[in-house]
Amino acid sequence: MTPPLRQAYGLLLARFGPQHWWPAQTRLEMMLGAILTQNTSWTNVAKAIAHLRRNHALQFDALERATQEQIAEWIRPAGYFNQKSGYIKNMVGTIRERFGGSLNTLFALDTPALRKELLSWKGVGPETADSILLYAAKRPAFVVDAYTKRVGSRHGWIGEKATYDEVARLFTDHLPGDVALFNEYHALIVRLCKEHCNTQPKCAGCPLEPLLPKPPR
DNA sequence: CACCAGGCAAGTA
DNA sequence: TACTTGCATGGT
């Protein structure tokens, strides 16, 4: 049986409306946010990005000039700042060396080559790479995160221990490869879990309740 | 006090 | 391939 992914999308969109993701003004800011939000709440990431903005460090040249220690200080609220500041310096250095410091040149790669390039960067795994592909490069990549796995397994669409690629294929195999659809779908899953699943006991009033598997008798 | 949050890399078996 | 551990802050 095919999972009711379209129906779930319709229910989420009706309940929450468009989410207008990614919450960033530029591609570079989006990429920084993708690294900063790794295993970290967005409220902490927002503080880190505010520090970067206040210090005019949401620009490529400023990040090139800044030391890793300075960046670490700015992004401190986002946690793991020693690692993430290294990832950022590494990313900026790679874009300079391999793409002349141009995001346009980087994003001129076709989707498979771009994904492979992003995954080669230290600190960029499958979720971060697909987030950048979808929200910065506007490619039809489905972003899988802890929320996506939670919703998928809760509804019996995937197994508890499904791999990243298995979860991604659940969506890409059953939906049209549409950037706007993938954008909204992932954002709605995050909205659902943050606002509802994490705060409401026992899924009471869950927008996806009509789709939940019947409890065993 | 414990536990979690829009992961990832490095080490081990 | 599959599992474990360290990374770090701020909120509940």
Q: In the prediction, which pLDDT does A77 show?
A: 98
In this prediction, residue A50 carries a pLDDT of: 98
CA proximity to A12, closest of A212, A190, A200, A214:
A190
Which pLDDT score, from 0 to 100, does residue A205 have?
79
> Which stretches in chain A have pLDDT values below 50?
217
Predicted structure pTM score: 0.96
Task: Name the nucleotide with the smallest C1'–CA separation from A145.
Answer: B6
Note the CA–C1' distance, A100 to B6, in angstroms: 30
| CA of residue A147 to C1' of nucleotide C11, angstroms | 19
A6-23 pLDDT, tens digit per residue, is 999 999 999 999 999 999
Q: What is the pLDDT of residue A202?
A: 64
Task: Report CA(A43)–C1'(B4) in Å, whole number.
Answer: 13
| Phi, psi torsion values for A198, nearest 5 degrees | -85, -10
Instruction: Provide, for chain A, the percentages of residues in helix, strand and coil under a 3-state DSSP scheme, each rounded to the nearest 5.
Output: 65, 0, 35
Domains of chain A with bracketed CATH: 5-20+144-210 (1.10.1670), 27-136 (1.10.340.30)
Predicted local distance difference test score (pLDDT) of residue A217: 41
